[in-house]
Amino acid sequence: MLNDLKQQPADALLALIKLHNSDPRADKIDLGVGVYRTGDGETPVFAAIKAAEKKLAEEQESKAYLGPEGDMGFVEKLMPYVFGKANPTMDGRIEGMQTPGGTGSLRLALAMVKRAGYKRVIVGKPSWPNHNQICADLGLGVLEFNHATPDGTTDMDALRGAIASAEDGDAILLHGCCHNPTGIDYSNGEWDEIASLLASSKILPVLDLAYQGLGHGMEEDAYGLRRVLATVPEALICYSCDKNFGLYRDRVGALYAMVVDPADLARVMSNGHALARANWSQPPDHGAAAVRLVLEDEALTTQWLAELDQMRDRMREVRATLASAGKTGGVDLTPIGIQNGLFSIVPFTAEQVQEMRTKHGIYFAGSGRINVAGLTTGNIQKFIAAVADVTA
């Protein structure tokens, strides 16, 4: 029976890690999986997290189980950053639970969507490939709409059309900020419109906020999410701390549900707890506990936010340098300057992606998605020259 299982392709994005590692060239460039890198090409642990981890090692007295909801101190401390300091629970309508990374949160959210009787999820194209994989694995249908126009702006007409054509039993998955893979986000004005379109539909919003603080700032990057939550009756919110706390492999995330009546919250969330129990039982503690310690300590919070500012500023500089290269070979790098977060798409053909790897030792996803944080003062001119070479 096990022998009947069919060979599955390796995850294309994760396979890039090995491909890059096995290239012996000293000047190879990794623009693949989404991790932040400093100007020296390192992905260090945040100093604020290191300090919190030391504190944790000294002060943690037990590693006994916490339950399927994980560290609720972590979950609650994060809420003012996500939902706003003024009313972080939206009058008692929001509650959350800890999950293993943003993926764990999406898995639970979409499993709850399925359990609640929704049949289909409206997803932008392109989206993070795992969005569609999770939907497929859960047996949820997907309705795709075009996310961006060729000139590098959002395709609002396509989104309007998808919302207008939605049926009963549809949910919609939207990236809160720093769209993965395009870096093309909705403007505040567009979010205002999306919020009112969703308010007059029956679509359940599932909002994925995996890069808060990497676009324009912690508050700015929450604008769209907060606008939608202010207008709709119910929503699910998937959060990742992997990038904005640099905790990648520690897998730190949270799932929040917003309901109409606070009295329903415990019942709704009991489904999240039951699904977690059936999937991973309880989330790993360490990273979330470190985030909680950062957020409980004013000095560590200030330090973390300053480190996040530095990351964002560096990515803005990289984007500005790429944009100033303008028309490079057969592609225009200018739009990258106004895009956000770790990713942008350069419209390479499949052959050009291969040539960038084989001829120049530059690795990025087959979609042409580059992780701009992989570019440094030391390698950015090599990248620009290679783009000119393969696209000329």
Active-site residue set = 128, 208, 243
Q: Which residues pair with 139 in a beta bridge?
A: none
Pairing of strands 170-175, 120-125: parallel
User: Distance of CA 250 to CAs 45, 179, 253, 283, Å?
Assistant: 11, 23, 10, 10
CA pair distance 311, 259, nearest whole angstrom:
35
Q: How far is the CB of 133 from ligand LMR (least distance, A)?
A: 10
Biggest CA–CA distance in the chain, Å, is: 62
Smallest distance from ligand LMR to CB 43, Å: 12
Query: Is the CB of residue 356 less than 8 Å from the CB of residue 4?
Result: no
Site for ligand LMR in 238-267 (CB under 6 A): none
CA distance linking residue 42 with residue 125, whole number of Å: 31
> If 0-12 CB within 10 Å is exposed, 13-18 middle and 19+ buried, where does residue 2 land?
exposed
Cβ-based neighbours of 150, under 8 Å, separated by 6 or more? none
C-beta closer to ligand LMR: residue 13 or 113: 13
**Would you say 106 or 288 has its CB closer to ligand LMR?**
106
- Residue of 74, 81, 128, 223 interacting with ligand LMR (CB under 6 A): 128
Residue with tokens 């990236």: 175
Q: Judged by CB, which is closer to ligand LMR: 33, or 206?
A: 33
Applying CB under 6 A, the site for ligand LMR has a residue count of: 5
Binding to ligand LMR by residue 96, rule CB under 6 A?
no
CB closer to ligand LMR out of 33 and 112 = 33
Residue span 5-44 as binding mask against ligand LMR, x where in contact by CB under 6 A, dash where not: --------x-------------------xx----------
The residues, ordered by sequence, that sit 6+ positions from 376 with a Cβ below 8 Å of its Cβ are: 37, 38, 39, 40, 41, 318
Residue 52 CB, nearest approach to ligand LMR (Å):
23
> 166 in helix, strand or coil?
coil
DSSP type of residue 148: B
User: Rounded to the nearest whole angstrom, what is the least distance from the CB of residue 211 to ligand LMR in the complex?
Assistant: 9
- Amino acid occupying residue 245: F
**Minimum distance from CB of 313 to ligand LMR (Å)?**
21
180 touches ligand LMR (CB under 6 A): yes
Q: Which residue is nearest to ligand LMR (CB)?
A: 34
Residues 245 and 295: their CA atoms lie apart, in Å, by 11
Instruction: Work out the number of other CB atoms within 10 angstroms of the CB of residue 161.
Output: 13
296-335 binders of ligand LMR (CB under 6 A): none
Distance CA 240, CA 100 (A): 9
94 or 213: CB nearest ligand LMR: 213
Q: Which is nearer to ligand LMR, 33 or 322 (CB)?
A: 33
Query: In this complex, which beta carbon is closest to ligand LMR, that of residue 32 or of residue 197?
Result: 32
Q: How many CB atoms lie within 10 A of CB 152?
A: 19
The distance of closest approach from Cβ of residue 35 to ligand LMR in the complex, given in angstroms and rounded to an integer, is 8
Phi, psi of 255 (to 5 degrees): -115, 130
Three-state SS annotation for 230-254: HHCCCEEEEEECCCCCCCHHHCCEE
Shortest distance in whole angstroms from residue 297 CB to ligand LMR: 28
Residues that bind ligand LMR (CB under 6 A): 13, 33-34, 128, 180
